[in-house]
Amino acid sequence: MINKPQKEKYISLAHGNGGRYMRELIERLFAHYLANPLLNTQNDSVLLTLDQREIAFTTDGFTVNPLEFPGGTIGSLAIHGTVNDLAVAGATPKYLSLNAFIEEGMSFEQLERIVKSMAEAASEAGVSIVTGDTKVVPRGEGAGVFFATSGIGILDKDHSLSMEKIKAGDQILVSGTLGDHGTAVMLAREQFGLKGDLKSDAASVFPLTQAILKIEGLRFMRDPTRGGLASVCHEISRATQKEVHLFQENIPIHEQVDSVCEILGYDPLYLACEGRVVAIVSAEQSEEVLKLWQSIASGANACIIGEIREGGIREAQANVVLETELGGERYLEELEDDPLPRIC
Amino acid letter at 240? T
Residues 119-123 have a mean pLDDT of: 97
Report pLDDT digits (tens) over 30-53. 777 877 777 676 677 788 878 778
Report pLDDT digits (tens) over 177-188. 999 999 999 888
Strands 145-155 and 91-103: antiparallel
Burial 224-254 (b: 16+ CB within 10 A, else e): bbbbbbbbbbbbbbbbbebbbbbbbeebbbb
Q: Is the pLDDT of residue 278 over 50?
A: yes
Least trusted range by pLDDT, from 6-20, 124-138, 249-263: 6-20
Distances (CA, A) of 55 to 51, 87, 209: 10, 11, 16
Residues 239-255 have a mean pLDDT of: 96
Q: Is the pLDDT of residue 7 over 90?
A: no
For domain 163-331, give its CATH number from 3.90.650.10, 3.40.50.720, 3.90.25.10, 3.10.20.30: 3.90.650.10
pLDDT of 46 reads 83
44-155, which class in CATH? alpha beta
Give φ, ψ of 247 to 5 degrees: -110, 110
pLDDT of 343 reads 60
User: Edge-to-edge, what's the strand order for the sheet holding 320-323?
Assistant: 218-222, 278-281, 171-174, 303-309, 243-247, 320-323, 329-331
Report pLDDT digits (tens) over 84-101. 999 999 999 999 999 999
Q: What is the SS3 assignment for 218? A: strand
> Could you tell me the pLDDT band of residue 1, with boundaries at 50, 70 and 90?
very low
Return all residues near 4 (Cβ < 8 A) that are at least 6 apart.
28, 29, 32
Burial 139-173 (b: 16+ CB within 10 A, else e): eeebbbbbbbbbbbbebbeeeebebeebeeebbbb
pLDDT of 24 reads 79
pLDDT of 127 reads 97
Residues 193-221 have a mean pLDDT of: 92
In contact, 112 and 176? CB cutoff 8 Å: no
pLDDT of 21 reads 75
Report pLDDT digits (tens) over 16-29. 656 677 777 777 77
pLDDT of 181 reads 94
Q: Rounded to whole angstroms, how far apart are CA atoms 316 and 199?
A: 38
Q: Is the pLDDT of residue 287 over 90?
A: yes
DSSP 8-state symbol, 205: -
Where do you find CATH 3.90.650.10 in the chain?
A: 163-331
> Could you tell me the pLDDT band of residue 219, with boundaries at 50, 70 and 90?
very high
In contact, 281 and 215? CB cutoff 8 Å: yes
Where do you find CATH 3.30.1330.10 in the chain?
A: 44-155
pLDDT of 26 reads 73
Residues 240-263 have a mean pLDDT of: 95
pLDDT of 124 reads 96
Residues 206-233 have a mean pLDDT of: 95
Report pLDDT digits (tens) over 292-337. 999 999 999 999 999 999 987 776 677 999 999 888 999 998 887 6
Q: Rounded to whole angstroms, how far apart are CA atoms 179 and 252?
A: 10
